[in-house]
């Protein structure tokens, strides 16, 4: 239920208005469903605010998130809310001309672009979908990511999704939600369904 009451008022010298525009780093992690889905739900709010949104999908499959992608693209093109840029590692990042050679290299190129966009304040909301995996696997240096995110200019919000979020990323986050799997149809032998799983 909408309450919106902080549990404490900080002694940080900031006004409520200043605190209201603080940039948020959110991490959705855990083994349950809804990590990415909730991030794209958050993108609906950002879109409604007229914010430019950048989605970076750090997954191999270009077919993943087709529903969310189409919806956000239609919304971004509607002219009613913010614009949406959708970047997919799975079909080759648009700014990379040559073949990246490996998923590890491709993931690094994705992060390099996120860095550039953060420095240029290209977007107001960044959805770094499944970004925890290249961190977890050591393909991208978590300390560097935390340092860059910590120092990002302006009021840029970042949502990172995926299992196995490194502790240093969790420590740096303002908002951490863990999605726990209580019950899943696949446990009962069901397969993924269109409209539900993708």
How far apart are CB 108 and a second copy at their closest, in Å? 18
Q: Which is nearer to a second copy, 87 or 124 (CB)?
A: 124
Residues 42-71 touching a second copy, rule: CB under 8 A, are 42, 44-49, 51, 59, 61, 64, 66-68, 70-71
Residue 98 C-beta: closest distance to a second copy, Å: 25
Q: Determine if 148 is a binding residue for a second copy (CB under 8 A).
A: no
Nearer residue to a second copy within complex by CB, 113 or 161: 161
Q: Where are the alpha helices (DSSP H) in 53-166?
A: 66-77, 103-120, 132-136, 142-150
Q: Which of 13, 99, 154, 191 binds a second copy (CB under 8 A)?
A: 191
Could you tell me the smallest distance in angstroms from the CB atom of residue 43 to a second copy?
9
Cβ-based nearer residue to a second copy, 1 or 120:
1
Do the beta carbons of residue 190 and residue 160 sit within 8 Å?
A: no
Measuring CA to CA, which residue among 149, 186, 174, 189 is closest to residue 31? 186
**What is the footprint of a second copy within residues 24-43 (CB under 8 A)?**
24, 26, 28, 30, 32-42
Q: Is 108 exposed, middle or buried (0-12, 13-18, 19+ CB in 10 A)?
A: middle
Q: Which is nearer to a second copy, 104 or 178 (CB)?
A: 178
Kindly state whether residue 108 participates in binding a second copy, applying the rule CB under 8 A. no
- Matching residue, tokens 């966009």: 117
- The rounded distance, in Å, linking the Cα atoms of 89 and 102 is 11
CA 160 from chain centre, in angstroms, equals: 4
Residue 113 or 132 with smaller CB distance to a second copy: 132
Distance CA 34, CA 36 (A): 6
- What phi, psi does 72 have (nearest 5°)? -65, -35
Question: Does 164 sit near a second copy (CB under 8 A)?
Answer: no
Q: Which is nearer to a second copy, 115 or 163 (CB)?
A: 163
Which among 123, 195, 109, 189 is positioned nearest to 152, based on CA atoms? 123
Does residue number 173 form part of the binding site for a second copy (CB under 8 A)?
A: yes
Using CB under 8 A as the binding rule, whether residue 74 contacts a second copy is answered as yes
């Amino acid at each position: 239920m909408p309450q919106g009451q902080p549990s404490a008022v900080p002694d940080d010298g900031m006004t409520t208005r200043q605190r209201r525009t603080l940039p948020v780093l959110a991490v959705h992690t855990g083994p349950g469903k809804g990590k990415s889905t909730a991030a794209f739900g958050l993108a609906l709010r950002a879109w409604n605010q007229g914010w430019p949104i950048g989605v970076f999908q750090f997954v191999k499959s270009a077919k993943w998130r087709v529903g969310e992608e189409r919806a956000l693209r239609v919304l971004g093109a509607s002219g009613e809310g913010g614009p949406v840029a959708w970047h997919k590692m799975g079909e080759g990042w648009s700014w990379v001309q040559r073949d990246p050679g490996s998923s590890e290299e491709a993931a690094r190129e994705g992060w390099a672009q996120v860095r550039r966009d953060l420095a240029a304040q290209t977007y107001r909301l960044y959805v770094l979908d499944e970004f925890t995996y290249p961190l977890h696997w050591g393909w991208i240096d978590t300390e560097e990511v935390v340092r860059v995110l910590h120092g990002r200019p302006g009021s840029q919000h970042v949502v990172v999704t995926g299992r196995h979020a490194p502790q240093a990323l969790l420590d740096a986050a303002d908002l951490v939600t863990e999605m726990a799997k209580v019950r899943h149809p696949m446990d009962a032998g069901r397969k993924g369904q269109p409209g539900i799983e993708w």
